[in-house]
Structure 1
Amino acid sequence: MKKTLRYNYRLNPTPEQEVKLFEFGATSRGIWNMLLSENMRRYEYDKTFLFYKDMASVLKELKPFEEFNWIKAFDSAAAQQVARDLETALKNAFSKGRLQRFPKHKITYKKKKLHNDSFRAVNNSNCIRIENGAISVPKIGRVPIILHRKLASKIKTVTVQYRHGKWECSITQEVECKAALRVLKTITGFDINSKQTVVGSNGYVADNPKFLKQSKEKLNQLQRQLARRKKGSNRWHKTKQRINKLHGKISRQRLDFAHKISRQITNENDILIFENLNVKAMQKFNGSTVADNVMGLITQLSKYKTELEGKIYHEIGRFEKSTGICSECGQHHVLTLKDRNFTCLACRTYQGRDLSAAKSIAKTGELDLIAAGIVARVNPISQQKSAIKTKVFELSKFAVGSEKKVAA
């Protein structure tokens, strides 16, 4: 089984290439706004939309006109990708399962004062390749790239974007997943909270580094400085760029932390059980803390990494109770946010709130997987006569065949 992944690299374009990249980003935004306006006009006229094939035909018909030379100077495959993205946005807006808003016009540079446009090029006929420390982008040329890691496979698409004062490219590649593990020796539940980022049922704890809090003093200083500047002046723009770069640093720190945590727990466990958290709703009443804790990001990264390693990732139901359940007898307790530890009313066991929740998540996830027929619990031969037994599972549901496997 193959999985499409993105690999991000830093670009170092020349001044001439940088001007061209800005133009292409603005062209991509212009095509989006033009096609969206046409769709809105068409819907008001006869209640229909233009989809990919129709929008591609419109772009082809406009190229011969002198007023649309800016489309002709743009990469045709990249223009088609804009049409595909708009088609996806329109379909998601009317899909009951996605709950997304109707697409909007992208704001121009004059209003936003930030060059954050992007465009996506497609590798047709090997037109995008990396040679001698540079990546070839259609109609741009060979742009120097910092290749900090080797490519996993052939390049499919490249998205170029200017973020936080630096040029970046996101390369999509197909990666082969490892064969599914037949014998799974460890199952661990993970509780994600605001105090410790991740608490595992096996005793693993990852404290929340709170990168936003670390940079809060510097951020407040720059924001006060921005308030004193005259809006629109050169100093105002410079201060705003410094704030943007600081937010970029915080974002990269969070991403690096999430990658390290997800990689560690994926390497150390065969079955990962998480909660299905409603992060968007949690951000409404505690936005900065939830964002600084990278709750949703850790689960997303852990999910694709377990699939690559041939392991199992599972999420229990969103409304399954885990907090306040005794890990020894299963007694339910009502706890406030201040209660980090509690004593069970039934068995009088003193335990931590988060560790108890992680163990409850592991038990619930284990029952879900067994009920669904995904895994079957077995005892390894070496531990059949041992007093202490470790939970060992075997994969019981395959894509092709379902032969019984003997655990060794």
Structure 2
Amino acid sequence: MLRHKVYKYRIYPTNEQAILIMKTIGCSRFVYNHFLDQWNMSYADTGKGLTYSACSKLLTDLKRQPDTEWLREVDKFSLQNALRNLADSFTRFFSHQNDKPHFKSKKNPIQSYTTHFTNNNIAILDKSIKLPKLGFVKCAKSQEPQGRIVKATIRKQASGRFFVSILCEEDIHELPKTDSAIGLDLGITDFAVFSDGHKVDNHRFTTKMEAKLKREQRKLSRRALVAKKNGVSLLEAKNYQKQKRKVACLHEKVTNQRNDFLNKLSTAIIKNHDVICMEDLHTKGMLRNHKLAKSISDVSWSSFVAKLQYKAEWYGRAIIKVDQWYPSSQICSECGHRDGKKSLGIRKWMCPACHAHHDRDINASNNIRNEGLRLYTLE
């Protein structure tokens, strides 16, 4: 079945190419903000907004005006995609899927633009990638993309590093059946506990980097104060900007470590099991608990579940979500006896009915598996 798959590579543009990338990002942001303002004024005056087609015609006129003729210097597809993103944002807003579109800021830590594939303007070679207007850019290729290239997104991180994401349309085949089902209990002490007794450690990536992050962020604050004292804008304060990139590199390292861990674990689960049963966690509500919010954010349950879901859809696996209020920790997985509510401090207990000894988390994952399989047979 044809699916969209993204390949992300780090690129190493020359100084001229980096300048052109930043120009293109700036022009895309200008076009988005300009037509957002036009859209808002049209809606205030007539009660109706604009359309992508109407904005596209106005963009052509905008390029011909002396004050904005510099828009012709950059990739035209990046400007058209800025308009598409604006139109999609309004469509989702009126469908109650997201908030009203806001103006883009150049102070955003991640800046990007998107271009489309046409007439072989995007090509991936051995050690470089061909991009519209930029030509051949040095690239660190980690894997070979398959299928038809659809579009590319060029991104500059807060760390100053450049990346390109290539969206390809591929024919992805389902994995062979394993006749295996697994229950999965997500936690904080252990990231995941499986019904077969296997536990995956929570690596606590943010916590391990916390001391270093605090130290570097204090340096950043001091340099901001020095710049303010000397009457220098933060954008022009070189020491502040240097330290800002250093802090961003640390945050980026934590993000990369976490994504690598989540991708490897989710892929292993999908490869080895046909049915994956797990709790339907309400993460947003759990984050309101200020004592656990930091730990919950660090483990990234939502990101992990999202990765499992799209990989299951790709490879023909089933994800079964058990209701979050299902008492998985209170039921004996051996005899089904329901015991009283247990505090989080109780990690091991014995069933008063069948006298089976239970590890709290393994017992919960077994109950999630049993309930998930029951729900699976009803579908």
- Compute the TM-score of the two structures, normalised by the length of structure 2: 0.90
Q: Distance in 1 between matches of 2:46 and 2:293?
A: 42
Matched, 1:125 2:119: yes
Query: What residue number does 1:376 align with?
Result: none
Q: Distance in 1 between matches of 2:137 and 2:271?
A: 36
List alignment gaps of at least 5 residues for structure 1. Answer: 373-408
Paired residue secondary structure (1:325): coil
Q: Distance in 1 between matches of 2:41 and 2:61?
A: 18
Q: Check whether the contact 2:195–2:366 (CA below 8 A) recurs between aligned residues.
A: yes
Q: Check whether the contact 2:147–2:171 (CA below 8 A) recurs between aligned residues.
A: no
Matched, 1:83 2:87: no
Q: 2:247 aligns with which of 243, 246, 266?
A: 243
Q: Name the CA shift for 1:337/1:144 in 2 (closer, same or farther; >3 Å).
A: same
Paired residue secondary structure (2:163): strand
> Larger deviation: 255-264 or 233-242?
233-242
Instruction: In structure 2, give the amino acid aligned to 1:309.
Output: Y
Q: 1:361 aligns with which of 364, 368, 373?
A: 368
Query: What residue number does 1:47 align with?
Result: 47
Query: What residue number does 1:228 align with?
Result: 222
Q: CA deviation at 1:180?
A: 6.8
Instruction: In structure 1, give the amino acid aligned to 2:284.
Output: K
Query: What residue number does 2:160 align with?
Result: 165
Structure with greater helix share of residues: 2
Q: CA deviation at 1:184?
A: 5.0
Q: CA deviation at 1:67?
A: 1.5
Q: Name the CA shift for 1:265/1:106 in 2 (closer, same or farther; >3 Å).
A: same
Q: CA deviation at 1:345?
A: 4.2
Query: What residue number does 1:107 align with?
Result: 105
Q: CA deviation at 1:210?
A: 0.4
RMSD: 1.9
Q: Distance in 1 between matches of 2:105 and 2:127?
A: 34
Query: What residue number does 1:92 align with?
Result: 92
Q: Deviations over 1:211-249 (max 9, x none)?
A: 111111111111222222224333222222211110000
> Larger deviation: 318-327 or 25-34?
318-327
Q: Distance in 2 between matches of 1:355 and 1:245?
A: 38
Paired residue secondary structure (1:103): coil
Paired residue secondary structure (2:354): coil
- Compute the TM-score of the two structures, normalised by the length of structure 1: 0.84
Q: 1:299 aligns with which of 279, 298, 305?
A: 305
Instruction: In structure 2, give the amino acid aligned to 1:235.
Output: N
Instruction: In structure 2, give the amino acid aligned to 1:143.
Output: V
Q: Distance in 1 between matches of 2:49 and 2:369?
A: 47
Aligned residues between the structures:
365
Q: Check whether the contact 1:177–1:307 (CA below 8 A) recurs between aligned residues.
A: no
Paired residue secondary structure (1:308): helix
Q: Check whether the contact 2:148–2:169 (CA below 8 A) recurs between aligned residues.
A: yes
Q: Distance in 2 between matches of 1:353 and 1:161?
A: 45
Task: Please identify runs of 4+ aligned residues in structure 1 that moved more than 4 A.
Answer: none
Q: Distance in 2 between matches of 1:276 and 1:84?
A: 34
Q: How does 1:8-407 map to 2 (within 5 A)?
A: 8-96=8-96, 98=97, 100-109=98-107, 114=109, 116-163=110-157, 164-179=159-174, 184-229=178-223, 230-231=226-227, 232=234, 233-285=237-289, 286-330=292-336, 331-372=338-379
Q: Name the CA shift for 1:362/1:137 in 2 (closer, same or farther; >3 Å).
A: same
Q: Name the CA shift for 1:134/1:184 in 2 (closer, same or farther; >3 Å).
A: closer
List alignment gaps of at least 5 residues for structure 2. Answer: 228-233
Q: Distance in 2 between matches of 1:221 and 1:136?
A: 40
State the identity %. 26
Instruction: In structure 2, give the amino acid aligned to 1:352.
Output: D
> Larger deviation: 128-137 or 306-315?
306-315
Q: Check whether the contact 1:156–1:173 (CA below 8 A) recurs between aligned residues.
A: yes
Paired residue secondary structure (1:108): coil
Q: CA deviation at 1:318?
A: 4.3
Q: CA deviation at 1:192?
A: 0.8
Q: Deviations over 1:329-356 (max 9, x none)?
A: 3315423333333333443433122212
Q: CA deviation at 1:309?
A: 2.8
Q: Name the CA shift for 1:101/1:319 in 2 (closer, same or farther; >3 Å).
A: farther
